[in-house]
């Protein structure tokens, strides 16, 4: 597994400590366990930092998330910078995490039995016509434009520009009980991040009543 342990005091918003000019380019990402006792997590790039996945200590299945992340990033040719709180031994944590994490092709006991994909009503009609879900790349190749063109200066536009290029090859799914898929759709419609359920409902109501 190809990873680097971040020097003490490094943050995901800082320049790359392993390149002469501090750049990340396309060959780096980071996985950060924050010194917070909660189950919150975020992904994305902040400022001149790397594209990072950031987790509170209480996030479920954190060990598996770490191994899955490193496996995926290494498969894409990226080196992962690991940043953990000072009281956590990175090498020991990875060793334990590897022993607990099956190979990617194995269906895990905690994998959801049903997953969902949330989208707009307009997009749903196109899915029904095609008889399949298509990634953003597949849609663009077929000449289909997204229902709402995001301004590049918007929060969501900036986030998408900083994502790894191959992310547009994938389709997003979520668990049945999670509101995250609806938050993603609402965020695209609003052009900004919508992180609470109350705002999700408000945006959906406004979008259904032009």
> Is 96 found in the same domain as 125?
no
Inside any domain, residue 110:
no
Query: Around 124, how many Cα atoms within 13 Å sit in the side-chain half-sphere?
Result: 7
Q: What angle do CA 100, 69, 98 make, to 5 degrees?
A: 20
Q: What is the predicted pLDDT for the residue at 195?
A: 78
Q: Supply the angle between the helices 155-162 and 180-190 in degrees, to the nearest 10.
A: 110
Domain that holds residue 160: 115-208
Q: What angle do CA 61, 186, 208 make, to 5 degrees?
A: 140
> Is 155 found in the same domain as 78?
no
Q: Which residues contact 162 (CB under 8 A, 6 or more apart)?
A: 44, 45, 51
> Is 125 found in the same domain as 74?
no
161-182: pLDDT as tens digits: 888 999 999 999 999 988 888 8
> Is 200 found in the same domain as 131?
yes
Q: With contact defined as beta carbons under 8 Å apart, do 164 and 51 qualify?
A: yes
Q: With contact defined as beta carbons under 8 Å apart, do 70 and 47 qualify?
A: no
Q: Name the residue among 83, 32, 86 with its Cα closest to residue 59.
A: 32
107-156: pLDDT as tens digits: 999 999 999 999 988 889 989 999 999 998 898 887 766 545 555 667 88
Dist CA 30 CA 51 (whole Å): 6
Q: What is the predicted pLDDT for the residue at 16?
A: 97
Give Cα separations from 197 to 42, 108, 117, 153 (angstroms): 17, 29, 17, 25
> Is 94 found in the same domain as 11?
yes
> Is 127 found in the same domain as 91?
no
Q: What is the DSSP letter of 51?
A: E
Inside any domain, residue 108:
no
> Is 7 found in the same domain as 96?
yes
Number of domains in the chain: 2
Q: What is the predicted pLDDT for the residue at 150?
A: 54
Given a cut of 50, is residue 206 above it in pLDDT?
Answer: no
């Amino acid at each position: 597994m190809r990873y680097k342990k971040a020097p003490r005091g490094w943050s995901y918003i800082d320049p790359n400590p392993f390149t002469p000019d501090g750049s990340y380019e396309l060959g780096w990402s980071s996985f950060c366990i924050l010194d917070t006792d909660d189950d919150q997590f975020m992904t994305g790039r902040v400022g001149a930092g790397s594209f990072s996945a950031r987790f509170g200590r209480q996030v479920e299945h954190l060990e598996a998330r770490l191994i899955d992340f490193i496996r995926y990033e290494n498969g894409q040719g990226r080196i992962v910078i690991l940043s953990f709180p000072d009281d956590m031994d990175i090498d020991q944590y990875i060793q334990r995490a590897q022993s607990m994490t099956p190979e990617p092709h194995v269906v895990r006991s905690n994998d959801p039995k049903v997953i969902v994909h949330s989208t707009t009503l307009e997009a749903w009609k196109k899915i029904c016509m095609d008889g399949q879900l298509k990634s953003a790349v597949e849609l663009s190749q077929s000449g289909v434009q997204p229902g709402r063109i995001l301004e590049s200066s918007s929060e969501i536009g900036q986030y998408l520009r900083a994502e790894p290029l191959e992310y547009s090859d994938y389709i997003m799914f979520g668990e049945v009980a999670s509101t995250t898929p609806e938050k993603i759709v609402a965020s695209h419609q609003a052009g900004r991040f919508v992180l609470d359920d109350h705002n999700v409902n408000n945006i959906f109501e406004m979008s259904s009543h032009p």
